[in-house]
Amino acid sequence: MASQNGAGEFPIIDSHIHLYAAGHIASLNWTAGLSQNHPLNRQCSTQEYRAATQNRSNLLGFVFLETDRKSGLKDTEWQDVLDEVDFLMRIARGTPRDGEDHRPEDSKLVLGVAPWAPVPAGEKVLAQFVQEVQQHCGDRWDLIKGFRYLVQDKPAGVMLQPQFIEGLQWLGRKGLAFDLGVDARMGGLHQLQEACEMMERVYVGDNDVKIIINHLCKPNLRLTASEAASGNPDFTKWKEYIYQMASHKSAYMKLSGFFSELPKQDETQPTAISTLVEQTRPWVDAVFKSFGPGRTMFGSDWPVCNAGGPGVQASWGHWHSLVAAILDDQGLTPEQKAQVWSGTAIEAYNIHII
């Protein structure tokens, strides 16, 4: 694992970002209702990401997560998601097209890619799709670390279908991870209950597929810390499910996504870091007690963090500062902090740092 540098900053792998050029916005599922000046209704490519991170010298790179392009389980509905793979491969090869806003030197930032995949379609269709992705990647297939099928907006029961379980187990046999996106606050705690049952079924036998859980399962951070500590049922059940998930040693958690769940911040006067640490401590405590720093990883959820954070220019940096303060608040050793900033992502996504 990379060590802390002389400036007192740890090497960082941002384990959760999304990228899209302006020309891709029409292919995304979730942009239709956005206002013209919404922070996500604009180009969010590598140059914008570099600006957001202020070109930090200790940022080793990122893991790209699929951006919820229009898709379906049939092979006739895969074009947009395969186009997204092509876009990431152009970034990784340093071969930009006009209007995509990335440069050849950005190629070294791409440490891993987790595209969309039709997991509920079962092993045969999933294998067909992954083979197509491999053909699109060519000699950069090594960058594909896993896949995601976003379940937070899907009907109840999807994760328990035999084909879904079969698909995850197939990913495990191929050494590919699965990013799990559920939403406790908006989708309901039943999604977490279903995810727990799904994991129990997936891990029957010796399957050890790495399931990488996004954003603490989007808990209800509109609760106050005192409400959570006093036994609010939303928090109590969320915590119970988090501990169940953590009981599986091939499960990992992303420390990410808070700004979307907390009350929106004022761009001119961001919420103080100390206030945010206090406000989120019950949830953070639960994650570190269950997963520990060895299975918890830093992720910014950029550019989504811009929507709830203090604006396009400041949100990534404010999130970075919050995570640094959280790790201090947890009393982690330098080695444990390094694990959260980069080591866990290296292990979970099988990243090779040159």
pLDDT in tens, 44-92: 999 999 999 999 999 999 999 999 999 999 999 999 999 999 999 999 9
Note whether residue 104 is domain-resident: yes
Per-residue confidence at 3, pLDDT binned at 50, 70, 90?
low
Helix 233-246 with 273-290: angle, nearest 10 deg: 50
CA angle in degrees (0–180, nearest 5) for 58-2-246 = 100
Note whether residue 231 is domain-resident: yes
Note whether residue 314 is domain-resident: yes
Note whether residue 3 is domain-resident: no
Mean pLDDT of the chain: 96
Note whether residue 5 is domain-resident: no
How far is the C-alpha of 342 from the C-alpha of 220, rounded, in Å?
A: 27
User: pLDDT at position 4, please?
Assistant: 62
Note whether residue 6 is domain-resident: no
Instruction: Please count the structural domains in the chain.
Output: 1
How far is the C-alpha of 20 from the C-alpha of 235, rounded, in Å?
A: 34
- Closest-CA residue to 24 (of 44, 38, 5): 44
- In our burial notation (b when 16+ CB lie closer than 10 A, e otherwise), range 260-269 reads bbbeebeeee
Q: What is the DSSP string of 60-114?
A: EEEEEE---BS--SSGGG-HHHHHHHHHHHHHHHT-PPTTS---GGGGGGEEEEE
Does the pLDDT of residue 257 top 80, yes or no?
yes
Q: What is the pTM assigned to this prediction?
A: 0.96
Note whether residue 124 is domain-resident: yes
Strand ranges of the sheet holding 59-65, from the earlier edge strand across to the other edge = 12-17, 59-65, 110-114
Q: The domain that contains 314 carries what CATH number?
A: 3.20.20.140
74 is in which domain, residue-wise?
Answer: 12-348
% of residues, the chain, pLDDT over 90: 95
User: pLDDT at position 282, please?
Assistant: 98
Note whether residue 4 is domain-resident: no
User: pLDDT at position 2, please?
Assistant: 45
E strand or H helix at 4: none
Does the pLDDT of residue 5 top 70, yes or no?
no
